Structure 1
Amino acid sequence: MNRSFFKKAMVGTAALATVLSLAACGSKGASSSSSSSTNESSSTSSKKTVTAADKIAAAEKLIEQGKYQQALDEVNSVTKSTSESRALATDLQNYIAAKKAYNNGNYDQALTNLNTASSSSSAIKEAYQSLRSKIAAAESSSSTTSSSATSSATSATTAAATSSSSSSAANASVAQSTSEDVIDAFATKMGFNQQGYGIIPVQKNGSVYRFEVRQNNQDNTVANLIGIYEYNAETGSVTKIS
């Protein structure tokens, strides 16, 4: 009797041990599965795709810091480009070329390289507006100085220099107060929103703007004046003055 009871007790103990062992294994497997799932989720999160919008936002900050080449590199690294990322890349390429020409004293080339901004980036539009203002002042100053060089009278030369300074400041002021959106609207309407054309705002009266429009010669060495136009930003009407 005691021996039989002892055997039954041993069998029961062994069975309980087996059940506990299986339960522990199941718990460990579930824990491992959960851990693996968490790791996979973390890995997926860390590999989040950088979108064109992310790249454009990063480029905007670089433009604000004056780092135009880095901004261009950022936009060009977009995996799947969009119309906006392509437009911003073009605007940056034009700006960099225009700034280089301006720094080298080639104001005609700088103006026609700049053309108009086609993206919606507020940062690049501000950069365009600032550079256009500098080009307008430099163009005016260069033109007046060149004309006054033929005068031999001291008083005439002094007057020309004074006129040059006043004209340069006026043109720069008008250019600085004329938004790139207005220039782009005028250029698009007239077909001047392409490489080879340069636009300088020279007068502003309310919503009516006066623009000088120039076009490169075949050698891209000189931008000849092709007309002076008045553009009404409210009505969209354009009148050629000369």
Structure 2
Amino acid sequence: MIVNKFFKNVSVGAAALTLVLTLAGCGNSQSTVSSQKNSSTTRNTQSPENDSMRVVRSANRSIRNNNFQEAYDNLNSTNNRSSEAENLKGDLQNYLTAKRAYNNGDYQTASNSLKPLKSTSTAMRDAYASLQSKINKKQITKTSTSSSSQRVANQQASNKTSGGVVEAFANKMGFTGEKGYSIIPTSASGNIYKLEVRQNNSDNTVSNMVGIYQYNSQTGAVTKLQ
């Protein structure tokens, strides 16, 4: 009887131990599954941000290599862009617009297209500065050429305009020399003259624009153009 009771106790104890180990195993298994799920969830949550960061780095490399369209296309094709990626995409769009205008000789539009940077990209900042410098040089050259051409045109118009024409216009309009007026012919075609009128201040240090007039020397008609 004592032996049988002993074996019964041993059997019960073994069964209990087996149950405990089984439950522990289930707990560990559930914990592992839960941990894997949490890890997967974390990866899924971080993935868009990581993708966005990677594409920003890639775009900056392309910008440094002057592959601006490639950088823009990569950013544009990325979903769930971060604010930095979105800002860099906008900066690139402005840059590409400015570059096209510059290549077409429209330097004013090119300059206006280079709006203030929104991204923190140093590569983009350097590209902006380089293009703006090129635009400024072209604008200075264009202005200088235009001014030179205007001086030549004025001289040619002056040569075609007799003193009698200027005097007749001045008398008609009251633009006499003693009042500080000066009249500059800017174009001449037949009997039609375009004349720029300026007036000096009292000490002759400043010459202010009065207007530009069209004068018909045959009919005496005068039209103020601006």
TM-score, normalised by the number of residues in structure 2: 0.49
TM-score, normalised by the number of residues in structure 1: 0.46
Of structures 1 and 2, the one with the larger relative CO (CA 8 A, separation 6+) is 1
